[in-house]
Structure 1
Amino acid sequence: MSFLSNLSIADRGRYFDVLAEVAHIRTHLDLVHWLRGGVQHFMPHDILVAAWGDFQRGAIGHDIVAPLRGVRTAQANMSALVSRLQELFANWSAANKQPYVTPAERINGLLGLAPQQDLIHSSAPAMRSAMVHGLRDLRAEQDCLYVVLSREAISEKTCAAAMTALLPHIDMAMRQTALPSKIITQGSACGAPAQITISRHGPDSAAPDNGMTGRELQIMQWVEMGKTNQEIGTILDISTFTVKNHLQRIFKKLDVYNRAQAVSRLKNSHYAHG
């Protein structure tokens, strides 16, 4: 029996309403409202973690969507988060790529923060369980992983079918929204060296002064983390050739000759924080 065939007539109406709303999602706030609205009826949860890229090599982009105060993409420790997402992806692959439930202990520190800073267990109520599922983007040739966390116990029998049915639509909704305006890079804990932050403008809009665009600053953020052109292309869903062209324009704008010089120049600019 399919997910839809098991629904009552009323729930079928709710389900189709949820799908119809996807077309109107444009911002992160729209996404939060949608996930906290009708989606909750079929898949109750408090936090959604989305990740995409090459999980084997750790070239992963991520986004955290939650209405809870303090739980934000920009506040995750990238290196710890990537490692945990790789583990969850491996478990999902081993489970024949079917949705599975994992207890809170398996995802403790999912946001990659030290225990005293763990956003899930301090600023936000403790999460009790999570469900993991993913899909393969054949056009971009990358995997996408989704983790929903809940303060309540998640029923694998009930929620697995709902997540399987909703995941393509959640994926579509995510793709229609821009990433948060600011992402803190690996190693940017309190007292760490200054880091490059991306512009509050969109990926194609121009930033002040030297004309750096949001997309160019986004690329330089990954360059600072030591990612190759191929890895950056995978994370941002653009070609390696496009990354190379962006870097050539960046070097020209900053009047530098290589990646190290570009990172140094930006760290000493108003684009850095520390």
Structure 2
Amino acid sequence: MSGLFTLESADLERLHFALEASIRVARRSHFFLWTQGALQCFLPHETLLCASSGAEQTPGTQDVFSRLLIPPRVEYILTEPGAPVVGGLRQAWLQAGRAPLVLPAAPLRTAVPELACGGELLCHGIAGHGAAPSTFFVFIGLPAPPGPRERYLAELLMPHLHLALLRMREGEHAAAGASPALLSGRELQVLGCMRDGLTNQQIGEVLEISALTVKNHVQRILRKLRAANRAQAVANGVAAGLIAGVTADRR
């Protein structure tokens, strides 16, 4: 595929800048600025769905980076652990031979009507082997149907996307280990209610917020505490000293 395309000198200069900038990505804000900045010169898009996990597994951690305002419900559907939407797209990519894959956006639009995703999706990633991590990316809201050039550029840039996402994750894990105060005040309140066995609806009533907002907080808590479920999140929170292990009687 690479023999079919020649980048102009201006493109080569922008490519050099994009690759150099990717090396400096170490935080979530860095990743957002890079994907919505330098990367847009080659793969313009409105929203980027990113997933990472151990090799050959359904993506375990998902994130959405977008120049649009993503409703909390949409973010939850796309980033919940084991999100079926992401798993289905990744499975299609694996079955297609792990090459850059163009898919119709209609199934995603049906699953998440609030997400602006007309036209087609561009999917690509790196499937790790053994203990190596895997990553998977879905470009949403492309200005035109992706063709051979876009697939070539996705192949060319994928190693840098892969490493940039992993560095971002590594930085977050290091921050989580170094700072138990990573949870916000509201998230600590939600975690305390989770310890008390309250449902999302009940937590919403106690804190005077919607159940959907509670879901969003729970998702962030699970991610920050690296927990697979609510019980593990509570246990990790207690172990880190974020909340007490015994609940005082509620009046």
TM-score, normalization by structure 1: 0.61
Which segment drifts farther, 65-74 or 188-197? 188-197
Corresponding residue for residue 49 of structure 1: 49
Corresponding residue for residue 17 of structure 2: 17
Deviations 1:191-237 (A, max 9, x none): 367764657xxxxxxxxxxxxxx98x6134x231789xxxxxxxxxx
Deviations 1:75-130 (A, max 9, x none): 322559711111111111111111111122032156xx5x4xx2x23xxxx43221
- For residues 150-189 of structure 1, the aligned pairs below 5 Å read 150-177=141-168, 178=171
Corresponding residue for residue 68 of structure 1: 68
Corresponding residue for residue 218 of structure 1: 225
- The count of aligned residue pairs is 214
- CA distance in structure 2 between the aligned counterparts of 1:79 and 1:38, rounded to whole angstroms: 28
Change (3 A) 1:73 1:64: farther
Contact 1:131 1:147 in 2 (8 A): yes
Contact 1:66 1:72 in 2 (8 A): no
1:37 and 2:37 correspond: yes
Contact 1:58 1:83 in 2 (8 A): no
- CA distance in structure 2 between the aligned counterparts of 1:255 and 1:90, rounded to whole angstroms: 41
* 1:127 alignment partner, SS class: coil
Residue 29 of structure 1 and its aligned partner are, at CA, apart by 2.6
Letter in 1 for 2:239: I
- For residues 184-203 of structure 1, the aligned pairs below 5 Å read 190-191=210-211, 196=218
Which segment drifts farther, 72-81 or 28-37? 72-81
**Unmatched 5+ stretches in structure 1:** 200-213, 228-245, 269-274
- CA distance in structure 2 between the aligned counterparts of 1:79 and 1:252, rounded to whole angstroms: 25
Corresponding residue for residue 83 of structure 1: 84
Change (3 A) 1:249 1:129: same
Corresponding residue for residue 135 of structure 1: 126
Corresponding residue for residue 250 of structure 1: 239
Which segment drifts farther, 187-196 or 155-164? 187-196
- For residues 103-142 of structure 1, the aligned pairs below 5 Å read 103-108=104-109, 113=112, 115=113, 118=114, 120-121=115-116, 126-138=117-129, 140-142=131-133
- CA distance in structure 1 between the aligned counterparts of 2:97 and 2:158, rounded to whole angstroms: 16
Comparing both structures, which one devotes a greater share of its residues to helix? Answer: 2
Deviations 1:139-165 (A, max 9, x none): 644432110112423323110000011
* 1:84 alignment partner, SS class: helix
Aligned counterpart for 1:149 among listed residues 140, 144, 151: 140
1:26 and 2:26 correspond: yes
Which segment drifts farther, 173-182 or 16-25? 173-182
Change (3 A) 1:67 1:33: same
Contact 1:43 1:159 in 2 (8 A): yes
- CA distance in structure 2 between the aligned counterparts of 1:26 and 1:75, rounded to whole angstroms: 22
Corresponding residue for residue 202 of structure 1: none
